[in-house]
Amino acid sequence: MTDTSTVLPALRVDGLAKRFTLHHQGGVELPVLEGVSLEAFRGECVALDGPSGAGKSTLLKLIYANYRATAGSIRVRRESASAEVEVTRADARTLLALRRDTIGYVSQFLRTVPRVGALDVVAEPLLVGGEADTSALREAHRKAQELLLRLRIPQRLWHVPPATFSGGEQQRINIARSFIRSWPILLLDEPTASLDADNCSTVASLIDEARARGAAVIGIFHDARVRERVATKVIDMERFQPRPGSR
Amino acid sequence: MKIDDFSPAVARDGNFNFAYLDERTKRMIRRAILKAVAVPGYQVPFGSREMPLPYGWGTGGIQVTASIIGPEDVLKVIDQGADDTVNAVNIRRFFQRTTGVEVTTHTTAATIIQTRHRIPETPLAAGQILVYQVPMPEPLQKLEPREAETRSLHGLAEYGLMHVKLYEDIVRFGHVATTYDYPVMVDGRYLMAPSPIPKFDNPKMSMNAALQLFGAGREKRIYAVPPWTRVESLAFEDHPFEIQRWSEPCALCGDTASFLDEVITDDVGGRMFVCSDTDHCLAHRPAHD
Amino acid sequence: MTEDTSPILRVEGVVKYYGARAAVSGVSFELWPGEVLAVVGESGSGKSTLLNSVAARVRPDAGRVSFLTRHEGMVDVHAMSEAQRRLLARTDWGYVHQDAVQGLRMNVSAGANVGERLMALGERHYGRIRSEAASWLERVEMDVARIDDTPATFSGGMRQRLQIARNLVTRPRLVFMDEPTSGLDVSVQAKLLDLLRSLTRGLSLAAIVVTHDLAVARLLAHRMIVMKEGRMVETGLTDQVLDDPQHPYTQLLVSSVLQP
């Protein structure tokens, strides 16, 4: 039996388009992306490149099913299932399962829960579903501590809810939270935007480690040095700009 | 004590139908009684009649007695265990005047005993009928005022609510503080209000040889406990049902096992405890007359 | 999380008329174990009627509501006997009312409020009922010292916590919530939402939450349904519906609130 996982892409995007229809502005249509096709294999880090407004974040949100595609397909190989999942057509339940076990997403902003401390925020993705037993909880906390140490979050903040943290600290909590699980596909939206050089380099190492264990990483890296350091492939998003008049 | 001492003989008044009620009404009530006997503990609605005394004076019990009494019956009427209180005397006179039946104070001699708030201390025998006067037949009423809902609760045997009441008693008083009208389960099925008898009498209801009938005139309900039927007082495993006990015997007859009433004997704090069941007390007193 | 093979609740074409007006017309959806579904819409959109039809508190004029019972598979809740339905409602289901007064016995102690379901199921040990009630008060972050106080003496937030404990004591698998946090102060609301979130996640509760507050939906729900004039105009993952609303009405709803 051959392992097909390195042969077939972890993610395939074909002819993907996204238009926003604003019903309350006279039904105006805002075309953002058109004809997006790309593949990401395990162990790859695909960097999305292009000026702001090129639809980089939109593409990540389409893959995460946060936005709904207007046309085209997004196929994801799910860890636990043999068949691919077609994200643009999957039902809510499949999408939730996909987010649980296959696709991790680091947004630019951390959405905090009011009274939960940083350590628990970071550990949470390991504990979804069911009442965690104490050993699982201890293991999740151990991993969370390790990540918080690497990302230089001072220990005195570990039990403080991140809502009060600085932008850079919140971003690092967000990163820790996303790297705590070994997602097969990892979507990173400007993970290093407000980080200093040391933390940028830690994030770069985390990305390398994720690739080494077989993750397919797709990211937006504003900082050219970080991009050069981590990317194995760069996609120029300007190719997918809708041409005027096209539908 | 002879019955004539407090209840002079009353002649049968032929202007009234036998036992006051008309025959059709008696038949209707008998049908309700039969249904009540067939479904132990279930409250059967009936068309309660206006009686020549006010609600609260035992109109439910009187209608039940009137429907079952015959010329050969021997009637005893008690109120709080006594044959000589106003309510008992009046009801006895009512039946003497409308039926002419023989009356008695002796529990063992009676075929029908109408009671308010007690069960005689002397064990009842097969063939006897105990008729209770019931002010409030619905045990859940204080907890759930909607009648449609209490009927559903009975229908579905959902009685958790009654335990909520007992739970609250323990929270507030450290024990189940209900001492009268203590709720019971009849034959493991229907929750029933035993009428305001002391919980001391509850155990006597269970597996009793006599037929027990309950009549609520104002609320228009009849229910029954047939002979030899299981009647259990509600309780918690760790707060079991217990009956009242007294530290002293009856001051008159010396009995240590009967239900005692406190009697104030003067206005300087003198008091004594005596049997509430007068017939029982008399029978146990040392002979001197 | 294990993969379930059947939804816990299936709602098919539910219709409910009030007079000539259809309060709910033809709503269908499925709910899977552990899933939280928000039903949003303005007042009069039919969301509460939908909730009550699904919770078997009102009988729909058409359609079917099936629940995955523990022993008999999917059962049409409106075809059950009243006894079965009531048993379900006090064991495997919970119902959290907007107004706690409707969901509590105001004149009996907090402990008895929580213990009532246990007593209804035949628990007859005072000590056990009491300690179970105490542990649930703790789980909903209430002061256990108040176990013998009546809800009449409690604040709105505490009453709501007590109502939740009273429902969860039998470990239901499906909980219906009708505007569980509205009517509370903003700070109290935030804490309660946080509690509901951790309870639903921790106990893998399936829940249907009716709310007009999109922030409540965002925080609690995996999926949402947008209702307008008795119809379901949009449904999807919560963040999908809120971040990329498709229907004109949903766009209006989302754009008329401050950053849910």
Residue A218 parent element (H or E): strand A216-220
Q: Which residues of C touch B159 (CB under 8 A)?
A: 120
pLDDT in the model for residue B146: 92
> Residue B60 gets which letter from DSSP?
H
pLDDT at A107 over 90: no
Give the Cα separation of B263 and B244 in Å (integer): 17
- pLDDT confidence tier of residue A112, bands split at 50, 70 and 90: low
- The answer on C164 and C247 residing in a single domain is no
- On whether any CB of chain A is under 8 Å from the CB of C4, the answer is no
Nearest to C126 among B156, B159, B236 (CB): B236
pLDDT in the model for residue C68: 96
Span A185-196, average pLDDT: 89
pLDDT in the model for residue A126: 86
pTM: 0.87
- The answer on C187 and C248 residing in a single domain is yes
Are residues A129 and C204, on separate chains, in Cβ contact within 8 Å?
yes
Give the Cα separation of A64 and A54 in Å (integer): 18
Q: Is residue A215 part of a domain?
A: no
Give the Cα separation of C166 and C115 in Å (integer): 7
Q: Is residue A34 part of a domain?
A: no
Nearest to A92 among C194, C202, C237 (CB): C237
Are residues C108 and B168, on separate chains, in Cβ contact within 8 Å?
yes
Q: How far is A81 from chain C (nearest CA, A)?
A: 11
- The answer on C131 and C25 residing in a single domain is no
Domain boundary among C153, C171, C189: C171
Q: Which two tokens stand for residue B256?
A: 């240590």
Q: Which chains have at least 3 CB atom pairs separated by less than 8 Å from chain B?
A: C
pLDDT in the model for residue A245: 56
pLDDT at B184 over 80: yes
Are residues A93 and C237, on separate chains, in Cβ contact within 8 Å?
no
- Please name the residue of chain C whose CA is at the shortest distance from the CA of residue A26: C248
Are residues A20 and C244, on separate chains, in Cβ contact within 8 Å?
yes
- On whether any CB of chain A is under 8 Å from the CB of C32, the answer is yes
Chains B and A touch (3+ CB pairs under 8 A): no
What ipTM describes this predicted complex?
Answer: 0.88
pLDDT in the model for residue C187: 81
- The answer on C260 and C166 residing in a single domain is no
Mean pLDDT estimate for chain B = 94
- Going by their DSSP bridges, the two strands C9-18 and C21-31 should be labelled as antiparallel
Q: What are phi and psi of C206, to 5 degrees?
A: -85, 140
pLDDT at B21 over 70: yes
Q: What is the pLDDT of residues A40-50, one digit of tens each?
A: 999 999 999 99
pLDDT in the model for residue A26: 87
- On whether any CB of chain A is under 8 Å from the CB of C187, the answer is no
pLDDT at A18 over 50: yes
- The answer on C76 and C1 residing in a single domain is yes
- The answer on C88 and C107 residing in a single domain is no
Nearest to C126 among B160, B172, B238 (CB): B238
Annotated active-site residue B270? The verdict is no
**Residue among B14, B41, B100, B254 flagged as catalytic:** B41
- On whether any CB of chain C is under 8 Å from the CB of B268, the answer is no
Q: Which residues of B touch C127 (CB under 8 A)?
A: 238
Other C-beta atoms closer than 10 Å to the C-beta of A204 total 19
- CA-closest candidate to residue B213, choices B19, B49, B35: B35
State what percent of residues in chain A have pLDDT above 90: 57
Nearest to C243 among A66, A114, A128 (CB): A66
Q: Is residue C231 part of a domain?
A: yes
- The answer on C259 and C160 residing in a single domain is no
Q: Is residue A136 part of a domain?
A: yes
- pLDDT confidence tier of residue B1, bands split at 50, 70 and 90: low
- The answer on C76 and C183 residing in a single domain is yes
Count chain B–chain C contacts defined by CB atoms under 8 A: 54
SS3 A188: strand
- Going by their DSSP bridges, the two strands C93-96 and C9-18 should be labelled as unpaired
Q: Which residues of A touch C35 (CB under 8 A)?
A: 93, 96
Domain limits at A165? 113-176
Q: Is residue A51 part of a domain?
A: no
Mean pLDDT estimate for chain A = 88
- Please name the residue of chain C whose CA is at the shortest distance from the CA of residue A129: C1
Q: Which residues of C touch B161 (CB under 8 A)?
A: 116, 119-120
* Sheet hosting strand C62-69, strand order edge to edge: C21-31, C9-18, C62-69, C73-76
State what percent of residues in chain A have pLDDT above 70: 91
Domain boundary among C171, C188, C221: C171
- CB within 8 Å of B143: residues ≥ 6 apart: B161, B162, B164, B165
Domain limits at C82? 1-92+174-260
Annotated active-site residue B253? The verdict is yes
SS3 A220: strand
Are residues A22 and C251, on separate chains, in Cβ contact within 8 Å?
yes
Q: Is residue A35 part of a domain?
A: no
Q: Is residue A206 part of a domain?
A: no
- The answer on C184 and C83 residing in a single domain is yes
- Please name the residue of chain A whose CA is at the shortest distance from the CA of residue C205: A130
Span C96-103, average pLDDT: 94
Chains C and A touch (3+ CB pairs under 8 A): yes
pLDDT at A246 over 70: no
Give the Cα separation of C170 and C92 in Å (integer): 7
Annotated active-site residue B281? The verdict is yes
- The answer on C107 and C81 residing in a single domain is no
- The answer on C258 and C187 residing in a single domain is yes
SS3 A164: helix
pLDDT in the model for residue C3: 58
Number of domains comprising chain C: 2
pLDDT at C17 over 80: yes
pLDDT at B97 over 80: yes
Where is average pLDDT lowest: A22-26, A183-187, B189-193, C101-105? A22-26
Q: Which residues of A touch C171 (CB under 8 A)?
A: none
Q: Which residues of C touch B236 (CB under 8 A)?
A: 124-126
Q: Where are the alpha helices (DSSP H) in A40-91?
A: 56-63
pLDDT in the model for residue A247: 47
State what percent of residues in chain B have pLDDT above 70: 98
Q: Are A125 and A99 in contact (CB under 8 A)?
A: no
- On whether any CB of chain A is under 8 Å from the CB of C6, the answer is no
Nearest to C112 among B152, B164, B236 (CB): B164
Q: Is residue C97 part of a domain?
A: no
pLDDT in the model for residue C1: 43
- On whether any CB of chain A is under 8 Å from the CB of C202, the answer is yes
Region at A173 (left for phi over 0; alpha for psi -120 to 50; beta for the rest):
alpha
Number of domains comprising chain A: 1
- On whether any CB of chain A is under 8 Å from the CB of C186, the answer is no
Give the Cα separation of A46 and A57 in Å (integer): 14
Are residues C124 and B235, on separate chains, in Cβ contact within 8 Å?
yes
- CA-closest candidate to residue B181, choices B138, B219, B220: B138
* CA angle, residues C220, C221, C227, in degrees to nearest 5: 125
pLDDT at C64 over 50: yes
- The answer on C255 and C183 residing in a single domain is yes
Q: Are C114 and C169 in contact (CB under 8 A)?
A: yes
Span A13-28, average pLDDT: 92
Q: Which residue has the higher pLDDT, C187 or A196?
A: A196
Residue C131 parent element (H or E): helix C126-139
Q: Which residue has the higher pLDDT, B10 or A150?
A: A150
Task: Give the best residue of C35, C200, C240 to mutate against chain A (max A CB count within 10 A).
Answer: C240
Q: Is residue C143 part of a domain?
A: yes
Nearest to A100 among C1, C191, C204 (CB): C1
Q: Are C213 and C43 in contact (CB under 8 A)?
A: no
Domain boundary among C171, C199, C226: C171
Q: What is the pLDDT of residues C199-228, one digit of tens each?
A: 888 888 999 999 999 989 998 999 999 999
Give the Cα separation of B132 and C160 in Å (integer): 45
